[in-house]
Amino acid sequence: MDSHGQNEQRVVWTVVGTDIGPLLLAATQDGLVNVVFHATDAVRDRTLDRLASRLGTEPVEAPDSPLLAEAIRQVEAYFAGTRRDFDLPLDWSLISGFNRQVLRELASGVPYGSVVGYGDLAGRVGQPRAAQAVGVAMGSNPLPVVVPCHRVVESDGGIGGFGGGLETKRQLLALEGVLPEPLF
């Protein structure tokens, strides 16, 4: 508790090595709040500054934190091919409005090994003409992999964009059996 008797926000983070490179995982007492691709030192530093600004407290590196333990276990199991669904508390505080609505629908309604079109996802949240806005929501997803924006593709069969890079999207879709594994 802080000096005013309020629960002080605590943000903990760690970096986990995966087949798609290092992922930064950050959590609050409410749940996993951020997953960041390609967590090099520079990316990590920018992310931690942004989290401190948005959440009002300095994130603390805590790889052994109970707040992160289950997220680490599930991410590692996903990349090992032994987990298909994430069952984690999520802190949605970094996203709001339409974007949050779209991402919640994505998390609950697009299972492992399947894909959905931007327009189809827009229709699922009652905004069938908002395909481009769905693309913006995917680009602002603070919880990629766990909230599987890699499963959103173009209606014409194109892979679409991806904040983690197209090669990362291809790798995630191949892991889930949607795309063939690369030959080399």
Which are the catalytic amino acids? 149
Start-to-end C-alpha separation, the chain: 53
Residues 139/103, Cβ–Cβ less than 8 Å: no
d(CA 27, CA 92): 11
Kindly report the backbone phi and psi dihedral angles of residue 142, in degrees, each rounded to the nearest multiple of 5, phi listed first: -80, -5
Residues 182/174, Cβ–Cβ less than 8 Å: yes
Kindly report the backbone phi and psi dihedral angles of residue 28, in degrees, each rounded to the nearest multiple of 5, phi listed first: -115, 180
